[in-house]
Amino acid sequence: MMRNQRRAAHRYDAALYRLPPSSAEPDHADEVAARLDDERRMREILRELATLDRGAREAIVLVALEGLTYPEAAVALGVPVGTVRSRVARARRRLRHGVPTVARASDDAVTGSMPEPWDRTAIKNRPGPKAVRDV
CATH code: domain of residue 71: 1.10.10.10
Range of the domain at 75: 31-124
For residue 68, what are the contacts with CB-CB under 8 A and spacing of at least 6?
A: 62, 76, 130, 132
pLDDT at 45: 84
pLDDT at 116: 47
Within-domain flag for 66: yes
pLDDT at 3: 82
pLDDT at 102: 47
Over the chain (135 residues), the average pLDDT of each successive run of 10 is 83 82 74 89 87 94 92 95 95 81 46 47 49 51
Instruction: Give the predicted TM-score (pTM) of the model.
Output: 0.50
pLDDT at 60: 93
- 59, 87 contact by CB (below 8 A): yes
Number of compact structural domains in the chain: 1
